Amino acid sequence: MELVWSVLSGTMLTSFRDIEPHRIGTVVFGGRSEPSFVAQPGHLDWLAYENRAARILEAAVQLFEEQPGS
């Protein structure tokens, strides 16, 4: 799995390298609310297993907080 930070949009894209469809979802940062994970419909079953969506969100927030200047 890959996490790619998009500075301009304040999002982190989550993707598989070798599985179609590649995009798992997007973690949205910023604004007045807490970060949230927006899942792509093609992976909803996979995300529901073992609370994977929450684990992806947690990993993305941790990476975000480790950035210099955050």
DSSP secondary structure letter of residue 30: -
* Span 6-64, pLDDT tens digits: 888 889 999 999 988 899 999 999 777 899 999 999 999 999 999 999 999 999 999 88
For the four alpha carbons of 10, 64, 32 and 13, in that order, the dihedral sign comes to positive
Using an 8 Å Cβ cutoff, are 30 and 12 in contact?
Answer: no
The Cα 53–Cα 38 span in angstroms is: 9
pLDDT at 70 over 70: no
